[in-house]
Amino acid sequence: MKLLNYFSALIVFLSTQVACGQTWTDPATAAKEDPDFLIQGEYGVAEPGQEWAVQVVALGNGQFDAYLLEGGFPGLGYTREKQKIKMSGTAESLASEDGKTKAQIGEGEIEVVKDGDALGTFKKVERKSQTLGMPAPEEALVLFDGSNADEWENGKVVDGLLPNNDPKTKRKFGDYFLHLEFRTPYKPEARGQARGNSGVYHQHRYETQVLDAFGLEGADNETGGIYKVAKPIVNMCLPPLTWQTYDIDLVAAKYDDNGKKTENARITVKLNGVVIHDNVEIPGPTGGGKPETPKPGPIYLQSHGNPVFYKNIWIIEK
């Protein structure tokens, strides 16, 4: 029975991989080989106070989902309480399920019609994280700067980047501030957790998820989510192959002299410079996390068979 279950799981895994299609890890190559890569992205004005903005997600083979967001882009006006209208189709013809909202993409802009009236023409923009490339302060410990992977078990350098082949810091940490930058692959035909899955484990106990969740709802198992604990306030995930940032304050769980936990761990998270978790309590280890103890723990970058890369990682112990 165990052998049968193993082969059943293997068949499901292999069929999922086949369905995922091609994977790109370099934006220049993706732009040359897949015209859909140049269409996906954000359309609108990257300033507060906008009425609407659009996020376009490539699904492979010329198919797209487009999300019309009331209030502008996430982090600049859109919130979960505002309208989010999904349109699907080709670049030439996108429409909502009820047919009341339609759009057409061409030459770096998208034209949107809502309820029979022209809503506007939105030009493509490329937003960058406010903390991208932030240098390590003098008091910080640099964990990875592209020159070597000496601070990591199972770490290696690939073109100046740290791949997510399950590297774990040799040092262990209690309370800290952590900065790191990550890039998910472009896998337009993949869906859900097959779309660039990784994760940053704090003390190898608590996961902040990494995934290509651009345009999605922002669940607890998508980028910005504290796995199985809390979904982000807003989905600040940028398009795949865009460098993104995590800036994280961790307050470790507290214990008395007998080793009994007296306070849960707490975490504050910025994704791409925007607060998505504000002093959230973590009741215990998240899925795949190691058991809690009074001892500090390492930073662990989870691998799920997806080529996610990291860079500019540093930490300030508190």
Give the DSSP per-residue string, 171-202.
S-BSSEEEEEEEE--B-TT--GGGSS-EEEEE
Domain residues for the domain of 189 are 141-317
Structure confidence at residue 192 (pLDDT):
82
Q: What is the pLDDT of residue 10?
A: 38
Asked if residues 144 and 162 have their Cβ atoms less than 8 Å apart, the reply is yes
Which DSSP symbol is given to 49?
T
User: What are residue 78's phi and psi, to 5 degrees?
Assistant: -70, 135
pLDDT at 8 over 60: no
Let me know if residue 64 belongs to a domain. Answer: yes
**Cβ count within 10 A of residue 96:** 17
Tell me: do 94 and 239 sit in the same domain: no
The CATH number linked to 173 is 2.60.120.560
Centroid of chain to Cα 47:
22
- Do 150 and 299 fall within a single domain? yes
In this prediction, residues 287-300 reach a mean pLDDT of 96
Structural domains of the chain, count: 2
**Low-confidence winner among 14-18, 162-166, 286-290 (lowest mean pLDDT):** 14-18
What tokens were used for 218?
A: 């922002």
pLDDT the model gives residue 7: 39
pLDDT digits (tens, 9 = 90+) for 244-291: 999 999 999 999 999 999 999 999 999 999 999 999 999 999 999 999
Lowest mean pLDDT among 32-36, 51-55, 86-90, 304-308: 304-308
Can you tell me the distance from the alpha carbon of 135 to that of 242, in angstroms, rounded to the nearest whole number?
19
At residue 19, the pLDDT reads 54
Q: List 52's β-bridge partners, or say none.
A: 70
3-state secondary structure of 262: strand
Residues 76 and 197 in one domain: no
pLDDT at 14: 39
- 278 shares its domain with 163: yes
* Phi, psi (degrees; rounded to nearest 5) at 269: -130, 130
Give me 176's structure tokens: 């800290």
**Mean pLDDT, residues 139-158 taken together:** 98
For position 301, what pLDDT does the model report? 97
d(CA 187, CA 198): 14
Average pLDDT over residues 175-191: 96
Domain end (from 67, 96, 125): 125
pLDDT digits over 202-258, tens only? 999 999 999 999 999 999 999 999 999 999 999 999 999 999 999 999 999 999 999
